[in-house]
Amino acid sequence: MPKVIVTRRWPESVETVLSEKFEVVLNVDDHAFSHAELALAFESADALCATVTDAISSDLFGPEARVKIIASFGVGFDHVDLESAREHGVAVTNTPDVLTDCTADLAMTLLLSCARRTAEGERELRRGDWTGWCPTHLVGSRVWGKTLAIVGMGRIGVALARRAHHGFGMRIVCFDLYDVAPDILRELDAQQVASLDELLPMADFVSLHCPATADNHHLINAARIGAMKRTAFLINTARGPIVDEQALCDALTSQRIAGAGLDVYEAEPNVVPGLLKLDNVVLVPHLGSATLETREAMGLRVVENLDRFFAGEHPPDLCT
């Protein structure tokens, strides 16, 4: 049986399936693997079941490496040095599709929470500071009929657009490096624009759904935040490095934009300290796919990739 090392705890049902099929080493105490532990795993296992928290750097692909496949638990694969994996013939897989809806749900949750100031209100209530209803208390922004700009119209971007347009009557504008399918644009009565700089001033809400590539590092910087409406909100459920977190903090502090909702951060689990002090930002700890149904589906997708790989077949979610 191939030896598989799993770097974090997974849903119990998935760990059971893995243990039935492979010689599995589980991370019983669920600690984040150190670089040394990752190196040892590379040398002692046939497969590494990694997550987005594991930095799979080029030096791990040394002459002593035994690993033949990195089966990543998550849709993103920016934590893996894909060039080194290709050079050393190591397969890399991810788990697309199955987390689309839950991530879109969370993006909509953040959008609504920002607009209606629900997190701020809950904190006030729990502190015992609420003195009762009044006409000017925690007045937020209406969502119905507002303009939502989506940066990256892949699966999750389209799923959010459907929720926003069909559920909340929002106008959809989008930017993507590729042409969005005409039938999707028709369904959503959406407009695709030619540049990000054209998109941002149009929006009441901006939601990010693009990958964390080198070109997208700090895609949303001080200048682009400055191009947004002062009444606009920024939502990020994609990857932290897409946003210049300090620039965002400065903009929120000066009320250059109305607010933000963040699920991901530049240096997870660390957050720019200034953000923690602000009421006009909703902060959640990378919960995009965090439902039992989705996490189980992600794990079973990993199992399918491993099954196919060790059977000598093409894994369905191959990234290299």
Condensed to tens digits (0 to 9), the pLDDT of residues 204-216 reads 999 999 999 999 9
Nearest alpha-carbon partner for 140 in 274, 292, 279: 279
Asked if 100 and 155 touch (Cβ cutoff 8 Å), the reply is yes
Catalytic residue from among 12, 198, 268, 293? 268
In a domain, 315, yes or no: no
Residues 202 and 279 in one domain: yes
How confident is the model over 127-137, as pLDDT tens digits?
999 999 999 99
66 has catalytic annotation:
no
Residues 244 and 113 in one domain: yes
How confident is the model over 193-240, as pLDDT tens digits?
999 999 999 999 999 999 999 999 999 999 999 999 999 999 999 999
Classify residue 286 as exposed, middle or buried by CB count within 10 Å of its CB (0-12, 13-18, 19+). Answer: middle
In a domain, 316, yes or no: no
239 has catalytic annotation:
yes
Average pLDDT over residues 247-265: 98
The β-bridge partners of 73 are 51
Residues 270 and 158 in one domain: yes
Q: Structure tokens of 2?
A: 């191939």
295 has catalytic annotation:
no
Residue 77 DSSP symbol = -
225: domain CATH number is 3.40.50.720
Classify residue 125 as exposed, middle or buried by CB count within 10 Å of its CB (0-12, 13-18, 19+). Answer: exposed
Residues 113 and 70 in one domain: no
In a domain, 318, yes or no: no
Average pLDDT over residues 56-60: 97
In a domain, 319, yes or no: no
pTM for the model stands at: 0.95
Instruction: Name the pLDDT band for 320 (thresholds 50, 70, 90).
Output: confident
Q: Structure tokens of 22?
A: 């492979």
Average pLDDT of every residue of the chain: 97
In a domain, 12, yes or no: yes
Residues 80 and 138 in one domain: no
Residues 244 and 128 in one domain: yes
Nearest alpha-carbon partner for 216 in 196, 191, 190: 196
Average pLDDT over residues 26-47: 97
Average pLDDT over residues 23-32: 97
Nearest alpha-carbon partner for 245 in 228, 268, 229, 227: 268
Catalytic residue from among 162, 286, 296, 308? 286
In a domain, 317, yes or no: no
How confident is the model over 149-192, as pLDDT tens digits?
999 999 999 999 999 999 999 999 999 999 999 999 999 999 99
Catalytic residue from among 224, 239, 295, 301? 239
Domain total for the chain? 2
| Residue the block writes with tokens 């190196």 | 39
User: How large a percentage of the chain has pLDDT more than 90?
Assistant: 98
Residues 14 and 135 in one domain: no
Say what the pLDDT of residue 25 is. Answer: 98
How confident is the model over 3-16, as pLDDT tens digits?
999 999 999 999 99
Residues 68 and 211 in one domain: no
Residues 295 and 226 in one domain: no
Structural domain that includes position 73: 3-98+291-310
Residues 108 and 249 in one domain: yes
